Structure 1
Amino acid sequence: MKKDLALMMALPNESKGLFEQENIQVHYSGIGKINAAFKTYEVIQKTGCKTLFNLGSAGSSVFDAHALIEVTRFVQRDMDVSPLGFEIGVTPMDEHFPAAIDLEPYFPHLQQGICGTGDSFETGKPKIDCNLVDMEGYAIAKVCKKLDVRLISVKYITDGANDTAHLDWEENLLLGARKLLSLYQDI
């Protein structure tokens, strides 16, 4: 499977150099949906991958810190056109793609989650139904869906998406990188 696979993470902070030490190529998108969409398209075009493997960090008030969660659905927590009568998470006039993008599970031993993506560092309860939050996943999923590339996404829960999230995120990244590397090496 690895020959047709490209690996993407948002930031080098999330890999802590561990993947590079093992000679594993990581494509870094940068933070946010625009950067993620652009990099996803670029990686698919340059590598010709059939599967994009997205690893990274996420916050959650539902899952325990330090857990690995496989994302099986992405939603947009910051797409809010409700004053015009649209449900939160729905992109108006985008009939070809539903508000939620479902992914086929790959890891039977991991818990599964719904990830709410938005261009903000979430420290409260999102307005949309989700149990973990990130800043890139929905954009990656949408580009993969449009280009017919399989997406597998696993998030390491670094924080509780609360008032101390920014401190917990940085403190927990090294342990997360170790767990994500171990998972990657087992595929």
Structure 2
Amino acid sequence: MRPLVVAATAAEAAYVPEGLPTVVTGIGKVEAAAVTALAITEHRPDVVLNVGTAGALRTGLSGLFLPSLAINHDLDAPSIRALGGQAIDEVAIADGDGSVLATGDRFVSDAAVRDVLAQRAGLVDMEGFAVARVAAAMGVPVRLVKVVSDTADESALDWPQVVDSCARRLGEWLAQSL
């Protein structure tokens, strides 16, 4: 198997086992999509593994998740479709754990925003949907691996202090799973 590990930040990729091809995309959907597409073209992987942190949108969610569905939460898909356009705003992911990840370019650190998103998903990040969409478009299986770093409220601003422990957990998952 030829995996490609994709992370938004170097901090999230800090404990990727040595020897695994890894790319750091930068933060947000555009950066994630552009860098992932280039990396798939260059590395020709059998699977893309998007590792990173996520905010919990619901009380009690913690630990590591393998989402089964990624949604693009800040795309106005209904309006685009009403205008006759195509709007892909969901990507199903095989072999997930049933969780739903909402991806958007907004850093969610507001409880009111969190509560609205919680109606559609349990987790939130800024890259997962983009990585999954690019991989699907390029015919490469994808797995999203997300560790909860905060509760998508003011605690999200503590991300720099918790990212190392989250990255260790991601590295452990990779070492055990590959």
Identify whether the pair has TM-score above 0.5, normalized to the shorter chain: yes
Correspondence for 1:26: 22
Query: Quick check: 175-184 or 62-71, which moved more?
Result: 62-71
Q: Give the C-alpha shift of residue 80 in structure 1.
A: 2.3
Q: Indicate how the Cα distance of structure 1 residues 5 and 81 shifts in structure 2: closer, same or farther if over 3 A, else same.
A: closer
Correspondence for 2:171: 181
Correspondence for 1:150: 141
Correspondence for 1:13: 11
Q: Give the C-alpha shift of residue 64 in structure 1.
A: 4.2
Please identify runs of 4+ aligned residues in structure 1 that moved more than 6 A. Answer: none
User: Any conservation in 1 of the 2:47–2:142 contact (CA below 8 Å)?
Assistant: yes
Between the aligned partners of 2:121 and 2:48, the Cα distance in structure 1 is 22
Q: Indicate how the Cα distance of structure 1 residues 181 and 80 shifts in structure 2: closer, same or farther if over 3 A, else same.
A: same
Between the aligned partners of 2:46 and 2:86, the Cα distance in structure 1 is 25
Q: Give the C-alpha shift of residue 81 in structure 1.
A: 5.5
Correspondence for 2:76: 80
Q: Indicate how the Cα distance of structure 1 residues 64 and 140 shifts in structure 2: closer, same or farther if over 3 A, else same.
A: same
Q: Indicate how the Cα distance of structure 1 residues 26 and 64 shifts in structure 2: closer, same or farther if over 3 A, else same.
A: farther
Mapping of residues 102-113 of structure 1, within 5 Å: 102-105=92-95, 111-113=97-99
User: Does 2:54 correspond to 1:58?
Assistant: yes
Between the aligned partners of 1:179 and 1:85, the Cα distance in structure 2 is 39
User: Any conservation in 2 of the 1:66–1:176 contact (CA below 8 Å)?
Assistant: no
User: Does 2:85 correspond to 1:93?
Assistant: yes
2:95 aligns to what SS in structure 1?
coil
In structure 2, runs of 5+ residues without a counterpart are none
1:34 aligns to what SS in structure 2?
helix
The percent identity for this pair of structures is 24
Q: Deviations over 1:113-167 (max 9, x none)?
A: 1111100101232456111000011111111111110001110100000122111
User: Any conservation in 2 of the 1:64–1:157 contact (CA below 8 Å)?
Assistant: no
Amino acid at match of 1:103: I
TM-score (norm 1): 0.82
Correspondence for 1:42: 38
